[in-house]
Structures are given as C-alpha cells and as structure tokens.
Amino acid sequence: MTPNALDPDILRLPFYTDAHRDRARRLAQWCEEQAPLWTELRTDDPDKAVRRALAALGGAGWLDFLAAAEPGSDGDCRAVCLAREALAYAEDLADFAFSIQVLSATPILRHGSPEQRQRYLPGLAAGTLAGAFAVSEEQAGSDVAAVALTAERDGAQYVLNGAKAWIANGTVADVVCVIARTGEGPGPLGLTAFLVPGDTPGLRVREPIEAMAPRPFAHLVFEDCRVPADAVLGRPGRGFVVAMDLLERARVTVGAAALGFARRAADAAQAHVRRRAIYGGVLFDLPTVKFELADMEVQLNAASLLVGRAAWELDQGHRGFAKHSSIAKLHATEAAQRIVDRCVQLHGAAGLVAQSLPERLYRQVRALRVYEGASEVQQLTIAGALDARRAR
Ligand SMILES: Cc1cc2nc3c(=O)[nH]c(=O)nc-3n(C[C@H](O)[C@H](O)[C@H](O)COP(=O)(O)OP(=O)(O)OC[C@H]3O[C@@H](n4cnc5c(N)ncnc54)[C@H](O)[C@@H]3O)c2cc1C
C-alpha cells in the first residue's frame, strides 16, 4: 500500500528505483504515524518546533545520508524530492526542518574539507545540530552577485562585517554557511563561502521575523565576527559557485514540496466535496466541481512528471537539468498555489477558519513562489536556455 502522500502511478515510473520507492513509502508511513507530533509542533514556538522536528527526523534516521561514508540513493535528488513531497503533505514544519538541514549540509558535503565534514555532518545528520545557509541580504535577494557583507583577511583569520536577511533557521542555527565578499574579483567573482558557528562572537540575530507560516526566520548581523582561515568552504573567490551549485540543486526539491502541499489540498478538497450536503445531494454532484477536481489531478500529474524528470536528470548528470529544474519549480509552485486556493474556495467559509487545514496550506504554500528563485527568475532562466536553433 502506498500512503496518500504519494501517487503510486508516478512512483512506479522508471524515474525511480525500488530503493527510492521503498524509502519514500516508509517515510510517508512514518509521517502518518507522527501525526500527534505534527499537531503539537503547531502550538510550539517555531524555534522549539524545528528543534523537535530535527530530533524526530534525525532520531528516525531520515537524515543519515548527510553523514554517510559513501553517497547512495538515499541522498540523491530523487530521494530528497520524494522526502519533501511526503513531509510537506504531512506538515510544513517537518518539510522545513528537513529541507534547511539538507540545504546547509549540501555545500559541506560537496565542498567541505575532511575536517569540516567531520566537524559538522554527524550532528546535522543526527538532528542535534541545526544548520542555515545565508546568502540573501536586503539589497541582494534575486541578485545574488550583489552580496555586500565583507570578509577581510587579518592574519590567520577573516573578519566578517555586514548583515544577512530572511535566513531560515536564523534564530536556531548552530552553523551558518555564509556567502561573503572577499574581493578576489568584481561582482560574482569576489565572493567566498564560510562556515560560521552560530555562537561565534559578533554574530547575532538582528530580529526574528514573524512569517505568515510560522518558522524560525531571521535577519542576522555580523559585527567584527572573526573566524579562522580554515572556516573557508571550498576556495576563496568561489562563493558564487558554491551558492549557485546549491540553489540549482535545491530548486527542483522546492517543486517537490509544492507537490506535497498541493496533493494534501486536493485530497482535502475531494473529501470535503464528497461529504458536503447541498441542493439535495453533495457538492461532488455538480459538474463544475468535478471539473475542478479533474483539473487538480491534471496539474498534480504534470508537476509530478516535471519534478521526476528534473530530479532524474540531475542524478544522471545530464547537462539540461538546470533548465528542467526551473521548469519543475515554476510549474509545481504556481500550480500548487492554484490548487490550494481552489481547496479553500471549495470549503466555503470553513476554509477560511484560522488553523483549519485549507487555511494553513494557503499560508504555507505562498513562500515557495519567492524563495530559491522567484517565479519570474525561473522564467528568465528558462527563456535564457531556449534552443536558439529552433528559432531559425
Ligand atoms: C520563506 C523564505 C525563506 C528564505 N530562506 C532563506 C535562506 O535560508 N537563506 C537565504 O539566503 N535567503 C532566504 N530567503 C530569501 C530569498 O532567497 C529571497 O527572498 C529571494 O531570493 C527573493 O529576493 P527578495 O526577497 O530580495 O526579492 P527581490 O529580489 O527584491 O524580488 C522581488 C520580486 O521582484 C521580481 N523579480 C526579481 N527579479 C526579477 C527578474 N530578474 N525579472 C523579473 N522579475 C523579477 C519577482 O516577482 C520577485 O518576487 C528566504 C525567503 C523566504 C520567503
């Protein structure tokens, strides 16, 4: 039996291996069993909620791949996408905790020295350390090359000064991967990635941000924040590459999370219209309502196929994956927004009640069209990758 969070018809496609299918089913089943925990998290403050979600995910072994000696299918893009799909279906904060942990561990996995990997990855995998990835600034959101936070070399140290904005896990992070300006070259050529422990003197939360879907989210300040030279992740001057490599990989997984939220909304809409008595029958009897549900199903299928293709391409090392990753994120997040909105509409007034499922999904899905490349940025990427030969 496949849990509701996943579509068995999609899962059986050759994009996925038996190992992917088995892990995804077990994770979705685990998510169902954790329902009481998810309910409790919604009343915790976001910092505590994320710590608890990380402890549960780490304790159950769902983050083990972050510290595995050999990369296996548990941590490939398809596995991460299926995990985000199942987690987002179950609970936004569970997906958030998982995804930010993967986001902050991936640069260490891909660019870290053996010492850096040994220092951080076991704790991130166990869920005992929380990570964050900080590239955005108030004046450098979509325009990553505009990063202004400086890191100046001073003997055997670097001194960081400046601010980061909108940082997920900013209030709880034990280690922050920071993209800073070191000036090896102009614009994107003058950036370097650093691993900064959360308790480093000079690093502080300027203010926590109360987001429409509660999450630990903050603006950070760095004032004469000193780190040793071995805090550099990768090589000096390669920070833009570290950030872009990460964001390109993460993009398709945002599409997968959108799919989880959207499938939950479509399931809730269908359950509601089948039992809502109206006009001597139920809402489902109305042809226009049937059309709505059919349209949701079409959109879910399209999003699943686009996410599956992009993730499969990334795992195979295909060059075209960046374009297809943008297509998957753009379509899945925009479709999820429409599906969640229609779910609210089909619930009528009941869908507008604070903390009802449709209302929660409505708030939770919105950020996905902005972070890790707004929809318009995806459109530019897609247009930029159009095959010029076809215009001849
Ligand atoms: C929930 C959430 C979590 C986040 N977590 C993190 C994090 O952990 N770490 C981190 O570093 N950052 C994080 N961010 C920041 C996020 O990456 C930025 O918000 C995003 O890059 C957009 O930047 P901005 O908000 O400055 O908007 P801007 O760059 O000012 O863009 C605003 C709008 O302008 C339009 N636009 C922008 N560029 C173009 C373009 N080229 N063409 C056409 N239209 C365009 C889009 O509609 C866009 O939404 C997070 C944001 C959110 C909402």
Superfamily of the domain at 241-391 = Butyryl-CoA Dehydrogenase, subunit A, domain 3 (1.20.140.10)
CB neighbours of residue 298 within 10 Å: 11
For the Cβ of 284 lying below 6 angstroms from any atom of ligand 1, the answer is no
What distance in angstroms lies between residue 361's CA and the mean position of ligand 1's atoms? 20
**Gap between the Cα atoms of 316 and 128, Å rounded:** 32
Residues in the chain: 392
CATH of domain 132-235: 2.40.110.10
Closest residue by Cα to residue 340 from 327, 329, 356: 356
- pLDDT of 388 > 70? The answer is no
Fold of 8-129: Butyryl-Coa Dehydrogenase, subunit A; domain 1 (1.10.540)
**Gap between the Cα atoms of 40 and 369, Å rounded:** 27
CB neighbours of residue 70 within 10 Å: 4
- pLDDT of 5 > 90? The answer is yes
The domains of the chain are located at 8-129, 132-235, 241-391
Sign of CA dihedral 3, 289, 262, 308: positive
Q: Would you state the pLDDT for residue 392?
A: 66
pLDDT for 18-41, tens place per residue? 999 999 999 999 999 999 999 999
For the Cβ of 207 lying below 6 angstroms from any atom of ligand 1, the answer is no
Structure tokens at 324: 């297809």
Question: Catalytic site residue 372?
Answer: yes
For the Cβ of 376 lying below 6 angstroms from any atom of ligand 1, the answer is yes
Contact 182, 139 (CB under 8 A): no
- pLDDT of 390 > 80? The answer is no
For the Cβ of 193 lying below 6 angstroms from any atom of ligand 1, the answer is no
What distance in angstroms lies between residue 373's CA and the mean position of ligand 1's atoms? 6
Contact 28, 89 (CB under 8 A): yes
Mutating to test ligand 1, I would choose from 92, 93, 136 the residue with most ligand atoms within 8 A of its C-beta, which is: 136
Mean pLDDT along residues 170-199: 97
Structure tokens at 21: 């299918």
Secondary structure class of 72 (helix, strand, coil): coil
Lowest-pLDDT range, 75-79, 183-187, 323-327, 383-387?
A: 383-387
What distance in angstroms lies between residue 370's CA and the mean position of ligand 1's atoms? 5
What is the residue whose two structure tokens read 């976001």? Answer: 46
Secondary structure class of 184 (helix, strand, coil): coil
Of all residues in the chain, the percent with pLDDT exceeding 70 is: 99
User: Nearest residue CA, atom 12 of ligand 1?
Assistant: 136
What distance in angstroms lies between residue 375's CA and the mean position of ligand 1's atoms? 10
Q: Would you state the pLDDT for residue 389?
A: 65
